[in-house]
Amino acid sequence: MSFLRKMFGGGVDDKDPRRFLIEAMLAAMGADGEITGEEIETLEQTLERNELFRDVSTDARSRLIDMGADAIREAGGGNKRLGAIAAGLKGRMHQQMAYTMACEICVADGEIPESEIRFLDGLQKALGLDDETAKDLFDGARSATGLQTVEEKATAMRELMPRFVDCMALMAAADGEIHDEELVGVRAVLASIPDMSVLSSDELNDAIVDSFDRVKGRDLNEAIVEAAQVISMPTDRYWTAVYMMIICLADGKADWREVAFLGTTRDAFGLTDELMDHAMQAAAHFPATELGGELPVS
């Protein structure tokens, strides 16, 4: 089973991430005020050939399209749905897939008017994609290798996953102690993150145990600086901050500025306050899990 099937599954409801993938494509189709035959064909081919929709019946696909079209119409246009689309696509791969599919729609007829450029810029910002990632995804869409580009990025993310888990373990250890309950709590949080589904259950358990072993007795500030040397890409650093903030929110801290270790993480990763605010908002979309223990406040 591919990572795409593991992430998306086969069910369909109003919170199904595939609904928001379709909505991103529909919004892209209407961005210039004119829906072309090439754009319709691209949408139909995506739903027909893409393995994300292979287990979805024709009727279910129609429902997903209707949901997206209704939401766009009621909002007064696709640009006004960008925030909702981003919120419905919680995982990093979900978001990259949405941007890729929107790009495929925009390049389908061989022309990209200013209105479509503005739409893609707005979608990129809503999804929190850095310029390098957005360019890679756009180039992949233009060369008809968009899904391959996302698969390649998923493989690279899988290789970095243990480092992401290390940083979450550091966040859990920020109160000076690591308890058995925190291992259970971090496991529950990780299981709720769509991106973590690229790891099997056993791989995820092993990664958590290994990470907690690695951070025992470590100086947190030194460890996060070392992590930043491995997690070097801006997007990877941003999403590491999101993962850490999920742990932070589980302890009831709603403002990253109140947590000294997150301030250190911001400096080590070279993130702006605006990106940290965005990361906290993204983290807030995930269910909270009680980890126990207090985090230090500045």
Quote the CA–CA distance of 229 and 231 in Å, as a whole number. Answer: 6
Is residue 120 a contact partner of residue 82, using CB atoms and an 8 Å limit?
no
Cβ atoms of residues 28 and 75 within 8 Å: no
Alpha-carbon distance 298 to 276, whole Å? 16
Check whether 134 has a pLDDT greater than 90: no
The confidence band for 144, taking pLDDT boundaries of 50, 70 and 90, is: low
Asked whether the predicted pLDDT for residue 267 surpasses 80, the reply is: yes
Write out the H or E segment, with its range, that includes residue 226. helix 220-230
Radius of gyration of the chain (CA): 20
pLDDT reported for residue 297: 29
Kind plus residue range of the DSSP H or E element containing 222 = helix 220-230
Residue among 153, 79, 155 at smallest CA distance from 119: 79
What is the tens place of the pLDDT at every residue in 154-176? 666 667 778 888 998 898 888 66
Residue 289 has pLDDT above 50, yes or no: no
The predicted model gives 278-282 an average pLDDT of 84
Q: Best-predicted range by mean pLDDT among 153-157, 179-183, 279-283?
A: 279-283
The per-residue pLDDT of the chain, averaged, comes to: 79
Q: What is the pLDDT of residue 265?
A: 95
**Percentage of the chain modeled with pLDDT above 70:** 77
Q: What was the pLDDT predicted at 24?
A: 93
163 is written with which tokens? Answer: 């480092």
- Per-residue DSSP letter, 249: H
Q: What is the pLDDT of residue 107?
A: 85
Q: Tell me how far apart the alpha carbons of residues 162 and 227 are, in angstroms, rounded to a whole number.
A: 11
pLDDT tens digit string along 2-42?
544 444 444 566 778 889 999 999 999 888 887 878 888 88
Instruction: Retrieve residue 204's tokens.
Output: 């995820």
Domain ranges of the chain: 3-144, 157-283
The answer for residues whose C-beta is within 8 angstroms of residue 266's C-beta and 6 or more apart is 241, 256, 273, 276
Give the separation between CA 288 and CA 137, rounded to whole angstroms: 31
What CATH topology corresponds to 157-283?
TerB-like (1.10.3680)
Helices (H), 16-113: 17-29, 37-49, 58-75, 82-88, 92-107
- The pTM for the full model equals 0.58
Q: What is the pLDDT of residue 298?
A: 29
Tens of pLDDT, residues 229-253: 999 888 788 888 988 888 887 766 6
pLDDT at 154: 61
Q: Answer left, alpha or beta for residue 110, where phi above 0 means left and psi between -120 and 50 means alpha.
A: left
| pLDDT grade for 226, boundaries at 50, 70 and 90 | very high
Q: Any idea which fold 3-144 has? A: TerB-like (1.10.3680)
Provide mean pLDDT across the span 138-145: 76
| Identical fold between 3-144 and 157-283 | yes
